[in-house]
């Protein structure tokens, strides 16, 4: 299932083997939450160099429904994507939609954000949903506690995640489909160690670190990853859930992570924020109104090859739908090329030089900017919550 080809320090290069093809690692999975990477089709995503995508069980269960997807031969046939797919279990929605769910010992009870109907997600039926969706890699149902959770909350999250992992293993029966375990525990090293010890004792073919990038600082995220990775088996793939900013990808590979997913590259693209070698470019700013060159001169994506920054600026200012497609193509191209370059540096034994060069020119948003963005997200969630009352 996983072949570790090379290490350079803690950084690793390997190959993830699935029924729908091999995935070179480190790998970034574009997020196709509802069966599509927003604004792109499957050919676009493949042409950009993605070897695996992620879809979400909770959202596909609600719409269009597991039965319909299964009728089309699972997600591969439904999406027209013949490469590997990983499905998340819906555990993260237990965090992001906490105003619409209740937690019981038997699972999560969601109130649909579409029509208010109630839906039970148990460890067993989540496995059944994912088996019928037909993904190559599926995830156990877990509890993702928010940043800053008290010990009593972490106790419960680790306890339920552990119990549900056992029930998920017992329920899983589809051959050719790998089930990954998830380590939880918030920022507590004691809880992380307890969770990792138990989850790895169950013998999953792969392991994820969950419950990071949920509001904590970057330094806290790195501390959790650095502490947890050595407790995961060397011969198994290591998946850091929900992390995808360029600087986090580089640093997490340096700590021994193999797999990533995140909506960040596509989400910020739709807001006119473009990933470049020096950090981010807000193409909506007036200074780009007659900028003749491409986003990046050394980028060979469709957008940079065919269009000027001035054209993208115009599209965003006039709210043309093409703006979102062209920006998404560029941002995903940037991230996927970054992962390819990281892998090549590990294979050639030059990862530390690559890492130093990256940080010498890439300037990420500061912590205050991240906090402002987080507050905006919380405000939007509050508005949704009020609308559903």
Cα 181 to Cα 228: distance, rounded to the nearest angstrom: 14
Q: Choose among 238, 157, 173: nearest CA to 200.
A: 238
Q: Tokens 């007036």 label which residue? A: 286
| Residue 62, C-beta contacts closer than 8 angstroms, at least 6 positions apart | 112, 114, 119
DSSP assignment of 157-181 equals: HHHHHHHHHHHHHHH---TT-EEEE
How far CA 169 is from CA of 16, 48, 124, 277, in Å, comes to 20, 35, 9, 43
Residue 343 to residues 24, 27, 86, 236, 346: CA-CA distances in angstroms?
A: 8, 9, 21, 17, 5
User: Is 258 an annotated catalytic residue?
Assistant: no
Q: Cα–Cα distance between 263 and 91 in angstroms, integer?
A: 16
DSSP string, 47-116: HTT-S-EEEEHHHHHHTT-HHHHHHTTHHHHHHT--S-EEEE-SHHHHHHTGGGEEEETTEEEEEPTTT-
Q: Which of 88, 142, 248, 258 is catalytic?
A: 88
Given the residues 8, 136, 258, 261, select the one marked as catalytic.
Answer: 261
Q: How far apart are CA 130 and CA 271, in angstroms?
A: 32
Q: Answer whether the bond into residue 26 is a cis peptide, omega within 30°.
A: yes
Between strands 273-276 and 137-139, the pairing is unpaired
**Residue 274 forms beta bridges with which residues?**
281
First to last CA, the chain: 46
Let me know if 261 is a catalytic residue. Answer: yes
| Inter-residue contact 235 to 264 (CB < 8 Å) | no
The residues assigned a catalytic role are 88, 261
């Amino acid at each position: 299932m996983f072949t570790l080809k090379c290490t350079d320090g803690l950084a690793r290069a390997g190959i993830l083997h699935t029924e729908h093809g091999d995935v070179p690692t480190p790998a970034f999975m574009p997020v196709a939450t509802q069966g599509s990477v927003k604004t792109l089709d499957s050919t676009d995503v493949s042409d950009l160099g993605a070897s695996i995508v992620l879809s979400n069980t909770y959202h596909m269960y609600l719409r269009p429904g597991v039965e319909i997807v299964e009728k089309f031969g699972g997600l591969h046939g439904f999406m027209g994507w013949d490469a590997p797919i990983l499905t998340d279990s819906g555990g993260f929605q237990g965090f992001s939609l906490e105003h619409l769910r209740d937690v019981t010992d038997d699972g999560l009870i969601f109130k649909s954000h579409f029509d208010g109907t109630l839906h039970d997600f148990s460890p067993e039926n989540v496995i059944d949903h994912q088996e019928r969706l037909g993904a190559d890699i599926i995830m156990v149902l877990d509890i993702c506690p928010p940043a800053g959770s008290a010990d009593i909350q972490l106790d419960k999250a680790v306890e339920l995640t552990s119990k549900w992992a056992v029930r998920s293993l017992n329920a899983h029966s589809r051959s050719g489909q790998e089930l990954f375990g998830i380590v939880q525990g918030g920022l507590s090293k004691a809880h992380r160690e307890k969770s990792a010890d138990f989850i790895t004792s169950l013998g999953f073919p792969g392991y994820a670190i969950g419950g990071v990038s949920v509001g904590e600082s970057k330094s806290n995220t790195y501390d959790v990853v650095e502490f947890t990775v050595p407790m995961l088996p060397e011969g198994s793939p290591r998946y850091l859930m929900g992390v995808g900013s360029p600087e986090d990808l580089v640093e997490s590979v340096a700590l021994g992570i193999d797999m990533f997913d995140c909506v960040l590259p596509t989400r910020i693209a739709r807001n006119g924020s473009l990933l470049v070698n020096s950090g981010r470019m807000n193409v909506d700013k007036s200074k780009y109104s007659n900028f003749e060159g491409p986003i990046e001169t050394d980028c060979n994506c469709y957008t940079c090859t065919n269009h000027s920054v001035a054209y993208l600026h115009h599209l965003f200012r006039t709210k043309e739908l093409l703006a979102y497609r062209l920006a998404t193509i560029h941002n995903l191209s940037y991230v996927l090329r970054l992962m390819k370059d990281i892998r090549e540096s590990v294979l050639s034994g030059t990862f530390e030089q690559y890492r130093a060069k990256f940080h010498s020119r890439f300037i990420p948003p500061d912590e205050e900017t991240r906090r402002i963005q987080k507050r905006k997200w919380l405000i939007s969630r509050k508005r949704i919550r009020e609308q559903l009352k």
